[in-house]
Amino acid sequence: MDISGMPAPPRAEAQSRTEALRAATVALEATFLDEMLKAARFGEPRNAFGGGEGEAQFSSFLRQEHARALAENGGIGIAESIFEAMKDRIHD
């Protein structure tokens, strides 16, 4: 349904589903990349700000943002592969 309460036209609904699928596949790739960066110890604190638990927490935010940015800019192709495999199924 659109803002007026009327059912969305089929084309608009398909567009919305396609955008939702694209967002979900990018989020999945970002999560995967975050785990890979974590395993590679990317963003691990180097005691640059005195160390401690707070620095460890904020470095994980940095790693997550790096992973998200990578995924949104093409990443390693996981999102695109999954999107292409599933996009025809969302119109069924």
Q: pLDDT tens-digit profile of 35-64?
A: 999 999 876 656 655 667 777 778 888 899
Give the pLDDT band (50/70/90) at residue 13. confident
Q: Which residues fall within 8 angstroms of residue 26, CB to CB, at 6 or more apart?
A: 71, 72, 75, 79
Q: What is the mean pLDDT of residues 11-29?
A: 90
Asked if the model's pLDDT at residue 68 lies above 60, the reply is: yes
For residue 88, give Cα distances in angstroms to 13, 14, 58, 77, 78. 14, 10, 40, 18, 17
Q: What are phi and psi of 26, to 5 degrees?
A: -65, -40
For residue 27, give the nearest of 72, 60, 58 by alpha carbon: 72
Asked if the model's pLDDT at residue 3 lies above 70, the reply is: no
Q: What is the mean pLDDT of residues 68-76?
A: 95
- What pLDDT score was predicted for residue 51? 65
Q: How far is CA 60 from the centre of its chain?
A: 15
> What's the DSSP call for residue 9?
P
- What pLDDT score was predicted for residue 92? 60
Structure tokens at 72: 């949104």
Look over the chain and give the mean of its residue pLDDT values, rounded to a whole number: 83
